[in-house]
Amino acid sequence: MPGPHFDHVALIGLGLIGSSISHAIRRGGLAKRITGAARSEETRKIAERIKLCDAVYADPAEAVAGADLVIICTPVGAFGPVAEAIRPALKPGAIISDAGSVKTAAVRDIGPHIPEGVHFIPGHPIAGTEHSGPESGFAELFDGRWCILTPLPGAEPEPVARLKRFWEACGASVEIMTAEHHDLVLAITSHVPHLIAYNIVGTASDLEKVTEKEVVKFSASGFRDFTRIAASDPTMWRDIFLNNKEAVLEMLGRFNEDLAALQRAIRWGDGDALFDLFTKTRAIRRAIIEAGQETPAPDFGRPHGATAEKKKSA
């Protein structure tokens, strides 16, 4: 069975995900050499100062030269230009993957630039925080989380198995599905919830009868949890909505229908309908805790566990 180790891993984009992958590789001794590419001089300087990689380049083609595994960790909107830039430098037999939150867009934008003999396997680690940048990463980010791989039809099984083992060695469990199914699942579990958070925080900041000061002062009554999600990186989330349009609109359609039913239940004083829904939703929360995707500890917006330690020191 192919192992999780690579001689040389190249990470294009050194933000939360790129830097966390680098830390996880170092923790597990999964590569002999890590190179990175970052767009801005500021990010490259920080990456060099904290010794995130063995070498950091401005030109992504230089970073991928000789790499056995390349992972593109930029916002989804940059995938096409990045793939085009690295194409001539990709080593025959290398695996190229990405960490993007929309998989049909990765196939569409990276796919056409993959040369013969290079294995393209799109991926998405379902792990993150609202922080970004090269100093926000930590080795434990993927521990106990899922990483979804969406190999193209006809993909060779051995490189897929190797990438799977790599992510497992980074702490994740791996599931394989099609890019289309991934985008539908993530639309309801991640993209629509973020849109709701962005919307409710936007609405609250734009009210006439309730002041912004009051919104902040009394935020512990529920609003605060939405603000954590709504603090996520604007570029990344703009690109997600621009690139997962159909699936997000489909799920939003369902969401609006269900919201209208709730509105009706409130208007007509249908307490049973409200109570039944709120009971059903508690069961989903319990299932998430039982699946190990959250702890039952109340955090009231505060991080706990390994993440807390990391953030405390940040």
Query: Which residue's CB is nearer to ligand NAP, number 82 or number 89?
Result: 82
Query: Which residue's CB is nearer to ligand NAP, number 134 or number 159?
Result: 134
Closest contact distance (angstroms) between CB of 284 and ligand NAP is: 21
Sign of the Cα torsion 166, 171, 173, 177 reads: negative
Query: Which residue's CB is nearer to ligand NAP, number 5 or number 135?
Result: 135
Question: Cα-flanking dihedrals φ and ψ of residue 253, to 5°?
Answer: -60, -50
Q: 245 pairs with which residues across the strands?
A: none
Closest contact distance (angstroms) between CB of 99 and ligand NAP is: 4
Closest contact distance (angstroms) between CB of 229 and ligand NAP is: 10
Closest contact distance (angstroms) between CB of 263 and ligand NAP is: 31
Whole-number Cα distances in Å, 66 to 31, 61, 95, 190, 246: 13, 10, 11, 35, 38
* Euclidean distance between CA atoms 212 and 201, whole angstroms: 11
Query: Which residue's CB is nearer to ligand NAP, number 5 or number 125?
Result: 125
Whole-number Cα distances in Å, 112 to 79, 90, 282: 11, 14, 45
Query: Which residue's CB is nearer to ligand NAP, number 24 or number 38?
Result: 38
Query: Which residue's CB is nearer to ligand NAP, number 4 or number 18?
Result: 18
Query: Which residue's CB is nearer to ligand NAP, number 6 or number 79?
Result: 79
Instruction: Name the residues that contact ligand NAP, by CB under 6 A.
Output: 13-18, 38-40, 43, 73-76, 78, 82, 99-101, 124-125, 128, 132-133, 233, 236
- Asked whether 100 and 124 are in contact (CB, 8 A), the reply is yes
